Structure 1
């Protein structure tokens, strides 16, 4: 039996509303990100600078590196694409299981995946790189420039903190239950 990605996705969609919700959030976030990048590129141009406050402004910066502008030399593009695709497939494989434990996982993973998809499509489609346009001055010497995908990724990551805490708490409880079962078995055998 041969499996293809469309067949797997189709089967997942039929069997789980969690997957449908996750994919819907992912698609919506990706489309919002691509739309905001399109607007930023069209309205800011190469030298546009629109201050909102002394700490926030809009400006266009082309990020040709990986996340955070990190460069892996000539392999940056390939590594970014492969790592993102593998991560998206892994998330798709676990979202239903994690959502069964904590329903917040669906939204959180959808935000993260949508942001990743938006930046992935920007990497693949744009020879200039990923359009970053939201400038945030962190200190007098440090300014970070991000895009909608980055904000969605960070928001999703923050939402995953309580999900991770729930998973950790359950893992600890399960480990304690196993220890108690072993202790009970050992004391009854003695």
Structure 2
């Protein structure tokens, strides 16, 4: 299964009315691409990707491959076929400064990398976030961005956190065309990364 005819930019919007980290993915016209639900109160990450907010069709599952997430990887499974679709892996020590992730295909071969564009934003967010009242406003002016490149360094996608009080909006844009299967793999990797990075602040 692939996510077809995606009309960019895609908007990731977290719901603030639920305890779980649920969010919608919609296209530029407001049409549903997916609805993402992260299971709560479990020791290993387990994320379900549905067709829309009605949750009438489960499309993909993303599960952590180990208990401790410092160097964790996340397996992406196509629910309909039961087949491995790909894998997202965080680069442990190198992620302490600027977040970096590797995206691998179903064979385990690394195809793309996600790189945080500016590590200083996270540093300033942590410092200013401790200041009373002012810290509440960092979501409006300290917003990280992430770029996807292939192994040759060619850029394909860029994800930006959009200004908002609760850090609940992200926007994904495609820089150049890519085949449908790789496009779906990158979008699914980004939605998992957004959950991980949002939890880290």
Q: Same fold (TM over 0.5)?
A: no
Higher normalized contact order (CA 8 Å, seq sep 6+, divided by chain length): 1
Relative to the length of structure 2, the TM-score reads: 0.28
TM-score (norm 1): 0.29
